[in-house]
Structure 1
Amino acid sequence: MGKVIVIEHLTLDGVMQAPGHPEEDPRDGFRHGGWATRGQDPAMQEVMGVYMSSTWSLLAGRTTYERFADYWPKQAPNPFTEALDRVQKYVASTTLTEPPAWQNSTLLKDDAADAVSRLKGELQENLVVFGSGVLVRSLLPRNLIDTFILLIHPLTLGSGRRLFPDSGSELSTFRLVDSVSTGTGVIVATYQPAGS
């Protein structure tokens, strides 16, 4: 049975929106895009590489998928681009109607949590999620996430979309299974749910 592994860049105040570049996600007037770039460190790639070196598939929401599909296939050859081109990609969306154009992509049209629950039962490989905040928040109430890899950056932004919603969440506890500090002050913490 496959596991869902969520990899997120977070600020100390829990913001996950637009870590990569200024224009990545300006929804709700967010103006701090690209906040994670100064914290990049080889230790981050080592931790993520553990989950991307074995058999895995990409699970993404529409917005993240479209940004990845527009960016990664156009990059010069590198291990991350090659890995993303090669893997099976599952796109959870209720608004996409066309089959995704990026090779090895499958559209999940149904309710995201239902579709992911089915995939977990059908697949042996892990489903790795980068970003995709709306998708991740839809999986939380059904306890479909097996591992969170949180790259916690030493800054606060004061506004922006957060990984865990401010309201409507139930009490949950997590077990720390690994942690690494980087030279840039980012803590890479790996958590697994420990129950309610």
Structure 2
Amino acid sequence: MANTPCKVVVIEHLTLDGVYQAPARADEDTRNNFKHGGWSMAGADPQMQQIIGKSMAGGWSLLAGRTTYEDLFEGWQVRQPSHPMTQALTDVQKFVASQNPNYKHSWKNSILLEGEATEAVAKLKKEHDKTLIVFGSGLLVHSLMQHGLVDEMILMIHPVVLGEGFRFFDQGTPFTRLKLQDKIITGTGVILANYQCITG
């Protein structure tokens, strides 16, 4: 058992108007007919990759909602099987939250969280010995925030306004104080802000 609770660190690409939907690929969210898929140009900014890499130093595991888990599998394992990031994601322990208790995961080193997600994550935080990294997974993150289970947020705020799309901090997001721990402005104008979440 871990000596101290592990951290939950949320990493999100956001537009200036707060949209987090489908940042990576043009066809990332065809289910909702979203026409701005791939807006982040994430792979074009090496500083963003360095920041994400730094946050994973010292050991980490992936925590993801089912949709994001499947998007990551499609974007990396299916489309880029020889990429170093694919190997990293394949090798790492992955915890998947799904409302379907019979969901069958497709990636090795994956575990389906049992029962209600927030209760399962609260238990993981006490017992797991690595930082839990969350990419995307907006619905899961909102639930975790409602229960004070998010410790840090790394928000990558891009200089683009979409005017539509799913907003990360939508109506119903709980009141949360964020303490800025670090910030970087990349050469492409992306603001990378690392926040500590303060509860209570």
Q: 1:112 aligns with which of 117, 122, 132?
A: 117
Distance 1:121 1:50, change over 3 A: same
Displacement of 1:27 in angstroms is 4.6
Kindly report structure 1 stretches of 4+ aligned residues shifted beyond 4 Å.
none
User: Which amino acid in structure 1 is aligned with residue 192 of structure 2?
Assistant: V
Q: 1:10 aligns with which of 6, 10, 14?
A: 14
Following the alignment from structure 1 to structure 2, what is the Cα–Cα distance between the partners of residues 14 and 143?
21
Counting only pairs closer than 5 Å after superposition, residues 175-186 of structure 1 correspond to structure 2 as 175-186=179-190
Following the alignment from structure 1 to structure 2, what is the Cα–Cα distance between the partners of residues 179 and 25?
29
User: Which amino acid in structure 2 is aligned with residue 150 of structure 1?
Assistant: L
TM-score (norm 1): 0.92
Please name the residue that 1:20 is paired with: 24
Displacement of 1:184 in angstroms is 0.6
Displacement of 1:96 in angstroms is 5.5
Task: Give unpaired runs (5+ residues) of structure 1.
Answer: none
Q: 1:92 aligns with which of 78, 88, 97?
A: 97
Following the alignment from structure 1 to structure 2, what is the Cα–Cα distance between the partners of residues 111 and 45?
32
User: Which amino acid in structure 2 is aligned with residue 179 of structure 1?
Assistant: K
Displacement of 1:38 in angstroms is 6.7
Distance 1:170 1:102, change over 3 A: closer
Native 8 Å contact 2:10 2:133 kept in 1: yes
TM-score (norm 2): 0.91
Please name the residue that 2:130 is paired with: 125
Aligned: 1:31 with 2:35? yes
Following the alignment from structure 1 to structure 2, what is the Cα–Cα distance between the partners of residues 134 and 114?
15
Displacement of 1:39 in angstroms is 7.6
Task: Give unpaired runs (5+ residues) of structure 2.
Answer: none
Q: 1:103 aligns with which of 101, 105, 108?
A: 108
Displacement of 1:24 in angstroms is 0.6
Following the alignment from structure 1 to structure 2, what is the Cα–Cα distance between the partners of residues 147 and 48?
13
Displacement of 1:109 in angstroms is 3.4
RMSD over aligned Cα, in angstroms? 1.7
Please name the residue that 2:175 is paired with: 171
Distance 1:170 1:99, change over 3 A: closer
Please name the residue that 1:149 is paired with: 154
SS of the residue 2:134 aligns to = strand
Displacement of 1:159 in angstroms is 1.1
Same amino acid, percent of matched pairs: 50
